[in-house]
Structure 1
């Protein structure tokens, strides 16, 4: 089942007194349910712009983004917001936990926008999700009392508590040491498999990319499929940043 599709997507920005800058150029991407996809590119290759399109946060300059075979250009901003909140979970390098709130309160926050039983059961649902990521004993801990790995686990629990069908992980291990990062990626894959969610990981690290089954290289806004991780995705061959591209 096709969950997300980008069809000849471009994204350009207007530069004062200069020609428009092309950030993404003819991107084609299909993500099926349960897929494990990695997109590799260094800072400046267009990863952030692509993430915004995948997460329904932005619209392409040309081409089309489809979610559940629905072209997003036909949806209102409110419909896109509801679709994003219901079906997409975001995990970032910076954990973005709410200061002054416990791990339990952080994970419960997305459920404040739920309806029906999920809203009224938000406390128990959040506690169950924290237990699932191995933090059932840290419900009342404040973010500053948690290790980096624990904070990322809270962030994962918060992203997954509404049962998204698509998980977007943006440099999810960038702030962690190698051992903790590998553990976190294993946990993320395990929870995604349990819910049949698709997982798209955007990273500059070929070792993290290798954990996915399908791989792409983003090079100056051009997305191309790759199978030779030891070659095309090797760190020396990931393109250098290009000034002005985010």
Structure 2
């Protein structure tokens, strides 16, 4: 079942006193339920722009983009915001945890915008998600008391707490050492598998990209399919 589809998508920005700058050109991509997709690209290749499109934060300049087989351009701004909050989970390299809030409170944050049971049971749901990522005993810890790997696990729990169907991981191991990075990717794949979510990893690291099933390279705004990357990192035992 197709979850997200891009057809000949371009993204162009208008510069002052200069010709328009094309950031993405003719991008074709389909992500189905349960897929594991990696996109490798250097800085300046258009990765952030593509991430914004995949996460329903922006619209293509030309081309078609579909979410659940519905044209994204036909959605109102409010409908797109609701779909993003409900169905898309973001994981960032720098964690973006709220300082002065406990691990539990950080994971609860997306549930403040939920409805029904998810809102009223938000503390319980967030606590269960922390347990799933191995941090149930660190629920009351502040971010500055957590290791890098623990902070990333909190960020993963926060991104998954609403049960998104699409997880977008933007350089999820870039701020971690090799062993912790491998552990985080193993954990991310495990949790996504249990929830049935599609996982798209955007990275510059071929070893991380190799952990996915489907591989793409983004170069100067052009997305191309590639067969494989370097051998995957050996799984690490969670600390």
Q: TM-score, normalised by structure 1?
A: 0.93
2:91 counterpart residue number? 91
Query: Which structure carries more relative contact order (alpha carbon 8 Å, separation 6+)?
Result: 1
Q: Determine the C-alpha separation between the residues in 2 that align with 1:170 and 1:89.
A: 11
1:166 counterpart residue number? 166
After TM superposition, the structure 1 = structure 2 runs for residues 71-150 of structure 1, keeping only pairs within 5 Å, are 71-150=71-150
CA deviations over 1:47-75 (Å, ceiling 9, x no partner): 00000000000011001110000001101
2:212 counterpart residue number? 212
1:3 and 2:6 aligned: no
2:34 aligned counterpart, secondary structure: coil
1:70 counterpart residue number? 70
RMSD: 1.0
Q: Determine the C-alpha separation between the residues in 1 that align with 2:109 and 2:13.
A: 34
1:233 counterpart residue number? none
CA deviations over 1:172-191 (Å, ceiling 9, x no partner): 00000000000000000000
2:137 aligned counterpart, secondary structure: coil
Q: Determine the C-alpha separation between the residues in 2 that align with 1:182 and 1:176.
A: 9
CA deviations over 1:165-208 (Å, ceiling 9, x no partner): 00000000000000000000000000000000000000000000
CA deviations over 1:85-125 (Å, ceiling 9, x no partner): 00000000011000100000000111111111111111110
Q: Determine the C-alpha separation between the residues in 1 that align with 2:118 and 2:74.
A: 29
> After the TM superposition, which parts of structure 1 deviate over 2 Å for at least 4 consecutive aligned residues?
none
The Cα of 1:228 is off from its aligned counterpart by 3.8
Q: Structure 2 unaligned segments of length 5 or more: list them.
A: 231-239
The Cα of 1:35 is off from its aligned counterpart by 0.1
Q: Structure 1 unaligned segments of length 5 or more: list them.
A: 231-246
Q: TM-score, normalised by structure 2?
A: 0.95
